[in-house]
Amino acid sequence: MLSESTFKDLGLRDELVSATGQRGYKKASVVQEKCIPWLIDKEKTPNLIAQAPSGQGKTATFVLSALQIMLDKAPKNAKGEPQVEQKPLVVIVSHNHALTRQSCEIANSTIIDADLGDYGVNPPKRVTPDPKDREFDVHSDENLTRLQKVPQIVCGPPKQIEKVVKTFGRDILVVVFDEADEIIQQEDGKNNQARSTEQACKDIVKRCTKAQITLFSATFPQRAQRVADQLTSMHKGSQPNRRTERLLAEEQSVASIVQCVLRTDFDDHHKKLEILHQLVSEINLGQIIIFAKKIVDIDNEIVPFLHRKGISVQAHHNKIMKEGRGDLGKIEQDFKDKHFRVLVCTDQLARGFDPVGVGLVVQYDMPFKGGDAKPIETYQHRVGRTGRAGSDGVALCFLNNSNRTELEVFKEIKETYGQVITELKEDTCVPHIKHLLDNIYNQK
């Protein structure tokens, strides 16, 4: 959702305003309008807990704000120009490689567009989504020394950022926790490490004694809110005048996205696949993301079936990298570059993946109950992969009428979004979705 404010109105420096213009942005989003002036306030520089829906420009919000703070606080030469300090000044903590890569890419492109060439970001390749790639491992003493010579912005998961701040904590000006609830509640799949990850976040903040602490997320469950309060109040003794602001975007919805559900008997998997094929083959406007619950269904049913039908499709899930079948970062970039039309993935990509041009999101399986994430939150994040940055999009759920768990989940979703979810019949589903997308793309 866009506001009426320009980036110049928000108080950003001219070079940063120029960078947003070069990327085609004329108006700030509502989230940016609310958050950026708070974050860059020279007198208050408050900590911030910001909750806003997906697709509203949160990454650009904290990247622009962090760059402004770096430039404002940098030593000046005789002409009053900021001088680059050869050490990390901003750390951005993410819970997965997709988010880390996104933060790096946006920070790097903003630096280039703002003509701030002497500033650096640890490049996406160096934040290695591939554990076999040791080009830049911040765990090593050698590379910690290299950090002194290059990047002022370092992005990575909690345990890597913790290593960085052990050396540079006193120099850090800004600490960002991106998708903070996921970081705080993170588990590694083998044993529950949520508690140790939470402690790593606290250790990061503890060492960054003069930093502004910011947490961004679309949702803040009770536990995440409690930890967020602890992180932003940790240095009250040494920073008695630093306040913590809480901002909630009014548009806490996915209202710009047309939401539909197809209710039918999906016990027959072949029937489900045939409807999916009909959708992706008859709809040729924009790209499509399909969310499925099980990796085995993605690998053994959905992707092979669509391949056989001649659909340009790829899978995305953790086993691809673990089994040496591909590079997830390359798959994400290939999709963004439109090298293929259909991406079938797990909820790993429900956050932190911001492709432009996704017209349709299909929830092949309803969000499921289990773990810390609530189905309504998963639904919101999935749907948010379309309709990015104020654009329109369409989201479709497949609902099995004979599955009690799915019906319970849909009831919960319906209670929240009931006024905007259209129930479709099997014989009219594809024509209806096609009509919706025709209208959206004809308006562009």
DSSP-based three-state secondary structure for 258? strand
pLDDT band at 429, cuts 50/70/90? very high
Of how many residues is the chain composed? 444
Whether 204 has a pLDDT exceeding 90, the answer reads: yes
pLDDT band at 208, cuts 50/70/90? very high
**Could you tell me if 217 and 35 are in contact, meaning their C-beta atoms sit under 8 angstroms apart?**
no
Query: Minimum mean pLDDT among 32-41, 104-113, 385-394: which range?
Result: 385-394
Whether 20 has a pLDDT exceeding 80, the answer reads: yes
pLDDT band at 356, cuts 50/70/90? confident
Which of 118-127, 132-141, 152-161 ranks highest by mean pLDDT? 152-161
Instruction: Estimate the crossing angle of helix 158-168 against helix 194-207, to 10 degrees.
Output: 20
DSSP-based three-state secondary structure for 335? helix
What is the full DSSP assignment across 101-169? HHHHHHHHHHHHHTT-TT--B--GGGG-SSTT--SS-TTSHHHHHHHTTS-SEEEE-HHHHHHHHHHHG
Determine the average pLDDT of the residues in 230-235.
89
DSSP-based three-state secondary structure for 214? strand
Whether this model's pTM surpasses 0.75: no
Q: Where are the beta strands (DSSP E) in 132-275?
A: 153-156, 174-178, 212-217, 244-248, 257-264
Can you tell me the distance from the alpha carbon of 104 to that of 87, in angstroms, rounded to the nearest whole number?
Answer: 16
Sheet strand arrangement including 313-316: 313-316, 342-345, 287-291, 358-363, 393-400, 257-264, 421-424
pLDDT band at 268, cuts 50/70/90? confident
Determine the average pLDDT of the residues in 73-102.
86
DSSP-based three-state secondary structure for 390? helix
- The tokens 């640890």 sit on which residue? 122
Determine the average pLDDT of the residues in 41-66.
84
CATH number of the domain located at residue range(s) 257-442 in this protein: 3.40.50.300
In the chain, the N- to C-terminal Cα span, in Å, equals 16
144 vs 63 pLDDT, higher one: 63
Bridge partners, residue 358, by sequence: 287
DSSP-based three-state secondary structure for 171? helix
pLDDT band at 4, cuts 50/70/90? confident
Q: What residues contact 218, with CB distance under 8 A and at least 6 apart?
A: 51, 52, 53, 54, 179, 351, 377, 380, 381, 384
DSSP-based three-state secondary structure for 63? helix
Which of 144-148, 174-178, 233-237, 243-247 ranks highest by mean pLDDT? 174-178
**Per residue in 314-324, is it b (16+ CB within 10 Å) or e — as a string?**
bbbbeebbeee
**Could you tell me if 410 and 363 are in contact, meaning their C-beta atoms sit under 8 angstroms apart?**
no
pLDDT of residue 63: 95
pLDDT of residue 278: 93
pLDDT of residue 250: 44
pLDDT of residue 390: 52
pLDDT band at 256, cuts 50/70/90? low
CATH architecture of 14-248: 3-Layer(aba) Sandwich (3.40)
Query: Minimum mean pLDDT among 4-13, 238-247, 416-425: which range?
Result: 238-247
**Could you tell me if 355 and 323 are in contact, meaning their C-beta atoms sit under 8 angstroms apart?**
no
Give the distance, in angstroms, between the CA of residue 154 and the centroid of all CA atoms in the same chain: 17
Tokens found for residue 344:
């079938």
Domain spans of the chain?
14-248, 257-442
Whether 143 has a pLDDT exceeding 90, the answer reads: no
Tokens found for residue 425:
């019949």
Whether 247 has a pLDDT exceeding 50, the answer reads: yes
pLDDT of residue 254: 60
Same fold, 14-248 and 257-442: yes
Q: What residues contact 129, with CB distance under 8 A and at least 6 apart?
A: 97, 100, 101, 321, 327, 328, 329
pLDDT of residue 207: 95
Whether 32 has a pLDDT exceeding 60, the answer reads: yes
pLDDT of residue 262: 93
Q: What residues contact 212, with CB distance under 8 A and at least 6 apart?
A: 39, 45, 46, 47, 48, 69, 173, 174, 175, 242
Whether 391 has a pLDDT exceeding 70, the answer reads: no
Can you tell me the distance from the alpha carbon of 298 to that of 378, in angstroms, rounded to the nearest whole number?
Answer: 18
What is the full DSSP assignment across 395-433? EEEEEETT-HHHHHHHHHHHHHHGGGEEEE-TTTHHHHH
Whether 144 has a pLDDT exceeding 90, the answer reads: no
Can you tell me the distance from the alpha carbon of 19 to that of 21, in angstroms, rounded to the nearest whole number?
Answer: 5
Whether 147 has a pLDDT exceeding 70, the answer reads: no
pLDDT of residue 72: 92
Give the amino acid at 102. Answer: Q
pLDDT band at 418, cuts 50/70/90? low
Determine the average pLDDT of the residues in 334-345.
92
Instruction: Estimate the crossing angle of helix 58-73 against helix 14-22, to 10 degrees.
Output: 150
Give the amino acid at 366. Answer: M
Mean pLDDT of the chain: 82
pLDDT band at 189, cuts 50/70/90? very low
Instruction: Estimate the crossing angle of helix 404-417 against helix 375-383, to 10 degrees.
Output: 70
Pairing mode, strands 342-345 and 287-291: parallel
Determine the average pLDDT of the residues in 55-66.
88
286 vs 7 pLDDT, higher one: 7
pLDDT of residue 386: 83
pLDDT of residue 155: 92
DSSP-based three-state secondary structure for 46? coil
pLDDT band at 54, cuts 50/70/90? low
Tens of pLDDT, residue by residue over 291-314, are 999 999 999 999 999 999 999 999
Whether 365 has a pLDDT exceeding 70, the answer reads: yes
Question: Other CB atoms closer than 10 Å to residue 425's CB: what's the count?
Answer: 10
Give the distance, in angstroms, between the CA of residue 336 and the centroid of all CA atoms in the same chain: 14
pLDDT of residue 430: 92
Determine the average pLDDT of the residues in 27-38.
87
